[in-house]
Every structure is written in structure tokens, then in C-alpha cells.
Structure 1
Amino acid sequence: MTIHADRTVLTTHGDVALIAARTVEPGHEAAFQQWVHEILNAAATIPGNLGGGLFHPAAESDPWIIVHRFRNREAMDHWLTSPQRAALFTNQPQYHHHEVARRELDGLEAWFTDPNRTALPPPRWKMAASSAIGIFPISLLGSLYLTPLLTALPQIVRTAIFAALFSVLMTYVAMPAVTRVLRRWLTPDAAQLG
């Protein structure tokens, strides 16, 4: 497994995912997992942290993947410059591991990137087309069933309800399904590897 070690320049608006790949010397996995647990707990105290996790390698020689999600770039920068993180990283050599790659993803890229895969996000036109496929059924069903129920409400309230509903359905229902179904088209190289 090869991870591309680059650092993407991000905007300051929208969710941001920080993905780090670390190799661990054999026999030191338990200490590493404890260290990551402490890292994730410390990151959870940062305002704007949306959670994170640790992905075990598929093969012994593959790196472990640590994922952090933040509400925006400012929250991620707060974590990266925090005293809690600095203290945890000061003692990290005792765990016999080191970072081999780091990616920062924002906006649509985060929907289309699997931390367990090496492929870069697909071209923006494919992301836009896939997003349209996800938006269409939500818009259609919302127009048919929700609009008639909300006509008595002020426009701003209707719009807020639609925005909240679309956001939740796109994030948790539509985009996971669309990216799973279109995986071979979105990232043909990754599909061949998987």
C-alpha cells in the first residue's frame, strides 16, 4: 500500500478531515493504539472537533490510518497548535512509530476519499455529477411530499428545514450510497486494486 504524502491547501470554510498514515514497528502495536486513543480523546476536547478514529492496516506492512474531522480549518489549526497535541507528540518516539503521509481534505473531497485506499479524489466534474445523482431523489421526494406540508410556514423557515434535511440526507444516506455504487467509475484505479 502506498500513501501519497502531500499536503492539500484548504479553504477556511466547511468540514475538514485530517488523515495521517503511520507505520508501527512490530511488537509495539498495543502501545501505539493506546497513544492514538489518547490523541483522539485530546482532539475531542477541541471546539469544532467532529470525531475521529483509527483504521487498522489491511496487511502487516501497511500503515495505520488516523482520521480527525473538524468543523472548519480554524478548528483543525487549533488542534494542530494545541498544547495537548504538543505534549502527546513530545513523548511519541517511545511508541516506535512514525508518520509516512498526511492528507487534509475538505468539502466534497471528504465524501469521495476512503482513508483505506491510496487513490486520490476523482476529478471535480465526476464529484459534481455524483452529487447531482444524490441530490435529485432528495429534491424530488422533498418537492412531492414535504413542500405541501410546509406551505403555511414562512419562506425562511421552509428553506431552513430543507437545508437541514438535505444536508443530513446527503451526508448520511445519499452520498455513501452513490459513492459505493459508482466506485469503479469514480476511481477506476482504486477499484482495480480493491
Structure 2
Amino acid sequence: MEQDDKSVTVVITQVVKPGCETAYEAWLKEITRVSRTYVGHLGTNVIRPQVGVRNEYVIILRFDDYKNLKVWMTSRDREYWLNEGKHLLESDPNVQEICGLEAWFSLPGQPLKTPPRYKMALLTWVAVYVLINVLNTFIVPLLRGLPPLIISLIITIIMVALLTYVVMPRVSRLFNRWLYPKSRKV
């Protein structure tokens, strides 16, 4: 894996045995605390189960580069904590490493699959093209009089937030069949 110069995200999905949620939360707090002591750790986010939407915990773990992530992933500390929490889970966790824009192309409630890069690039380009034109038409006129760097800062903040939380999740769902074609049976 040639990721040594890029930040890397690991997405872990785990289904907790019914009745073990409190013990799992305590375990999760401890393994997260230990992971923060490793060089290159950039943060951990936890998405908890939602009734009727998804039944698994999703843990998003970020490191500054692949080398530092690998140190954590192969550490004795991690191995120890995984063994400590194994009895709380219904099955082995699903662990996937991603980098860059791949996270934008995940579908809620489904395991993360990475579509071909050309498809990600094409859809990202279209979304950015449309969004930048909409923002330039409707937002930039409201910002007239501000220095150009401040206008650029505001526009990029709005664009990234919209791409991450509004546009790309919808684009991924809309183009799901094209991004993730099912293999045809002969």
C-alpha cells in the first residue's frame, strides 16, 4: 500500500451483543484512550447504532500516515484490547482502510466499498463544478467588499461542508448502480 505520505482513515464496523452495550462503551473508551497515545493519531469518531437505521457501531480512526497507522494496527496494545472486547461482539469487526475522497462515496448502513477512482473523480468534478458555480452566483455577490482571500476562505468552507454533508452522500446514493455495479451472472 503506497500511502506513506497521506493521512489514512480506518473505518471499523462492529455489532455488539444485546445487553453488552454498557461494557462495550467502557471498552471503547479505553481502547480509544490508548490509541491516542500513538504517534500520528489524528482522532477517533464513533457513530453509534440507530434503531431502524443500522445496528452496528462505526468507529472512524485517523492517522497522519500509513506507517504510523500500521504501528497502531500491529501493536500489542491493540491486540490486548481487541482480545479484551471480543466477547462483547456478535462477530469479527469489519476493518477497512481508506484515504482521500473515498469516504465521500460510502453509503449509509452498508460496508464501505471503494468504487473505481475514475468514477470517484468524475462525480467529484461534476459536484464541485456545479457547486462552485452556484456559490459564485448566489454567495459571492453577498460578500462583495471583503478581501478576495476572505471571500475564497468563506466559499471553500461552505463548499467542503456542503460536499461532505449534503452533496456527496446524495450523489453516492443517486449514482449507486453506476458506482457499484452488481456482477452479472452468465
**TM-score (normalizing by structure 1):** 0.66
- The answer on whether the counterparts of 1:39 and 1:85 sit within 8 Å (CA) in structure 2 is no
Alpha-carbon distance in 1 for matches of 2:27, 2:65: 18
1:189 has 2:182 as partner: yes
State, as a whole percentage, how many aligned pairs show the same letter. 23
Cα distance, 1:125 vs. partner?
1.0
Cα distance, 1:185 vs. partner?
A: 0.9
2:85 is aligned, of 92, 114, 122, to 92
Cα distance in 1 for residues equivalent to 2:63 and 2:86: 30
Partner residue in 2 for 1:111: 104
**2:11 counterpart of 1:19:** yes
Paired residues of 1:19 and 1:115 also in contact (CA < 8 A):
no
Q: In the alignment, residue 30 of structure 1 is paired with which amino acid?
A: G
Match of 1:133 among 111, 126, 131: 126
Matched with 2:136 is 143
Aligned to 2:25: 37
Gap runs ≥5 in structure 1: 1-7
Shift of 1:183: 0.6
How many angstroms does 1:180 deviate by?
A: 1.0
Name the CA shift for 1:91/1:189 in 2 (closer, same or farther; >3 Å).
Answer: same
**2:58 is aligned with 1:70:** no
CA-CA distance at 1:143 after TM superposition: 1.0
Structure 2 residues not aligned, in runs of 5+: none
Flag the 1:143–1:119 CA change in 2: closer, same or farther, 3 A.
Answer: closer
Change (3 A) 1:40 1:96: closer
Residues of 1 paired with 2:44 and 2:154: CA distance? 22
Deviations 1:102-130 (A, max 9, x none): 21112111111347445731111110111
1:35/1:81 Cα in 2 relative to 1: closer, same or farther (>3 Å)? Answer: farther
Match of 1:154 among 139, 143, 147: 147
In 2, Cα distance between the equivalents of 1:17 and 1:119? Answer: 12
TM-score w.r.t. the length of structure 2 is 0.68
